[in-house]
Amino acid sequence: MGLPNGVSLKVTRPYREEDLPAMVDIWNAVVEAGRAFPQTEPLSLEEAREFFAAQSHTAVITVAGRVAGLYILHPNNVGRCGHVANASFAVSANVRGHGLGRLLVEDSLRQAAKLDFRGLQFNAVVESNQRAQALYEELGFAYIGTIPGGFRNKDNEYEDMRIYYREV
């Protein structure tokens, strides 16, 4: 689903039941690539239905009416640390590089504020994901530190993980 010439209409909105099949495809592609998310197993449609519903907020971005990406937003921790959010983002591989990730992150910041979170923290930005690092830094996230070898990729190689934080 590349962006057709002249198509620039991108809409971020809460997900709907009918979005789930496309969301599962996009999410599972990232999981199966084994280079970004901590999950090792793809979601079934029923597992996805429960997983996405359990988040504080789940949103999709559509291009020309079709789901092209999504994010989940939830507390990073519990209790006395529950005021800091965490999020995960996924964009369909064939539409990456068109600014959809930026729109998803910007929307997640707005939604985090609406949900009374005080900050947004990313715990596991894999060192090789330089596009995400650049985006987060452009959007004002502070690089907090590195966990050496904190991520085991699909090839069973250990990569460093970076932590980012920004107030909302």
| Contacts with 11 (C-beta within 8 Å, 6 or more apart), sequence order | 61, 62
Find the mean pLDDT for residues 5-29.
88
CA distance linking residue 12 with residue 23, whole number of Å: 13
Number of H helices, E strands in the chain: 4, 7
Kindly report the CATH number that applies to the domain delimited by 10-167.
Answer: 3.40.630.30
Residue 163 has a pLDDT of 98
The yes-or-no verdict on residue 8 having pLDDT over 90 is no
Q: What is the pLDDT of residues 134-162, one digit of tens each?
A: 999 999 999 999 999 999 999 999 999 99
- Reference 22, options 82, 64, 79, 76; nearest CA is 64
Cα 42 from chain centroid? Answer: 16
Each domain of the chain, given as residue ranges in start order, spans 10-167
- Reference 73, options 129, 131, 122; nearest CA is 122
Residue 161 has a pLDDT of 97
Look up the pTM and report it.
0.93
Residue 3 has a pLDDT of 52
Q: What is the pLDDT of residues 78-131, one digit of tens each?
A: 999 999 999 999 999 999 999 999 999 999 999 999 999 999 999 999 999 999
Q: What is the pLDDT of residues 19-68, one digit of tens each?
A: 999 999 999 999 999 999 999 999 999 999 999 999 999 999 999 889 99
Residue 10's pLDDT band (cuts 50, 70, 90):
confident
